[in-house]
């Protein structure tokens, strides 16, 4: 009887411990699932935000590059700038403002760089023009490629021959 009692007590005690383990196990599982879920959620949000930013940058860069357009109004060779120089007048015919950052004179025959001009205040509003006297000792018959770079990375080219 005692044994039975003991056994019964033991059984009782085991039964009670088994319930506790379940709770603990459940808590552990819940915690683990929660932590994993939060981590996964955090990771996915972070990843999505990064992706968004990347897309945003790619989009704006590409779109703005597409919408940027510049033409050479006129290029003329002067002898009184003072000295010999090349007047380059360009117009922004795109829909966005643009900044001319650099202009290169390249020998049209040898492709050698003749002269580089840099600009930091050469913004052109849409439909606006920018004119610059580029000092360069041209000689008659010079074949010159003029390449203009913008801050968005576009480049525009024309070719002229000195009179």
Partner 1 sequence: MKKHRGLSAVVGAVFLVAVVISALSYVTYSMNVLGNFSESLITEEKRQKDKQGEEFEITSIDITSANKLDGIVTNTGQVPLEIKSLWIEEVGAPNSVKKFDIGKTVAPGDQLDLINSVNFVMDPTKGYTMKMVSGRGEVQTFHVNSVSSDNLYLQTHALPAVISTEFDTVVLMTVTNNATNSATILNLTPNPFPTVDTSSCLPNCLATYVSGPTPSSYPSLKSGEAATFKWVYTIAGKDSNTIKFTTSILNGITTNTASANGEVRDIVSALESGTALNTLGLQTVTGSKDILYLHDENWFTPNGEYQLQTSTPDLGGDFVDIDNENPTWITNNGTDTVVLPAGIWTASLNYITEFLPDTLVQSGNNQVDMIFHLNKNIDTEPDSSGNTIGLDRCNSPSAPQYFSSGGPDNSPYYHFDGSNDCFTSNFSIDTNTFANIQSSPDTTAFWFKANNLSVNRAIMFRVDESITDYSKSFYQISLGDGNSGSVGKIVFEFDTNNGGSRTKCISTARWDNNVWHHVVAVRNASNQCKLYMDGNSTPVATDTHSYATSTIIGKSKFKIGYNGIGEYFTGDIDQIFHWNDKALSTSEISSLYNAKYGDTATTINFSIYKTDYLGNNIGSPIKQSLNYPIKFADSGKLDDSNSYNSLADSIWNQMNYTTGSISEVTLDPTQRLNFTMAYVSGLDMILRHDDNTMISPKSSYLQTTTPTTLFPAYFTYDKSNRLQVIAHNSGPYGSWFVYQGTRAIFDSLSSTTSYAAIICSVNSTQSDQCVGNANNDNWLVTENRDSIFIPINSNVNLYFWSIQDRPDRDITGGTVIPAGNYHMYVFIDGYDETGKSFLRQMDIGNVKVVD
Binding site for partner 1 (CB under 8 A): 22, 26, 29-30, 33-34, 37, 40-41, 44-45, 48, 51-52, 55-56, 59, 62-63, 66-67, 69, 71-74, 76-80, 87, 89, 91, 93-95, 127, 161, 163
In angstroms, the first-to-last Cα distance of the chain is 126
What is the spatial distance between Cα 88 and Cα 106, in angstroms, rounded to a whole number?
Answer: 14
Smaller CB distance to partner 1: residue 56 or 113? 56
C-alpha 69: how far from chain center: 19
Tell the smallest beta-carbon distance from residue 14 to partner 1 (Å). Answer: 17
Q: Is 39 exposed, middle or buried (0-12, 13-18, 19+ CB in 10 A)?
A: exposed
Smaller CB distance to partner 1: residue 6 or 39? 39
Tell the smallest beta-carbon distance from residue 154 to partner 1 (Å). Answer: 13
Smaller CB distance to partner 1: residue 95 or 155? 95
Smaller CB distance to partner 1: residue 2 or 141? 141
Listed residue (72, 54, 70) closest to 62, CA to CA: 54
Residues paired with residue 75 on neighbouring β-strands, in sequence order: 88
What number of CA atoms fall less than 13 Å from residue 149's CA on the CB side? 12
Smaller CB distance to partner 1: residue 59 or 118? 59
Tell the smallest beta-carbon distance from residue 153 to partner 1 (Å). Answer: 17
Host H or E run for residue 33? helix 2-67
Q: For strand 143-150 and strand 155-161, is the pairing parallel, antiparallel, or unpaired?
A: antiparallel
Tell the smallest beta-carbon distance from residue 36 to partner 1 (Å). Answer: 9
Tell the smallest beta-carbon distance from residue 80 to partner 1 (Å). Answer: 5
């Amino acid at each position: 009887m005692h044994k039975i009692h003991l056994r019964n007590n033991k059984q009782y005690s085991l039964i009670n411990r088994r319930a506790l383990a379940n709770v603990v196990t459940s808590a552990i599982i819940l915690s683990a699932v929660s932590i994993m879920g939060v981590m996964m959620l955090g990771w996915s949000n972070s990843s999505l935000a990064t992706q968004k930013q990347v897309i945003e940058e790619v989009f704006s860069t590409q779109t703005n590059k597409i919408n940027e357009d510049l033409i050479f109004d006129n290029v003329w060779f002067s002898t009184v700038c003072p000295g010999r120089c090349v007047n380059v007048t360009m117009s922004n015919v795109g829909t966005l403002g643009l900044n001319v950052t650099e202009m290169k004179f390249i020998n049209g025959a040898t492709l050698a760089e003749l002269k580089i001009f840099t600009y930091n205040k050469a913004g052109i509003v849409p439909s606006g023009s920018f004119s610059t006297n580029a000092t360069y000792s041209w000689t008659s018959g010079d074949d010159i490629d003029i390449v203009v770079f913008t801050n968005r990375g576009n480049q525009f080219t024309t070719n002229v021959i000195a009179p």
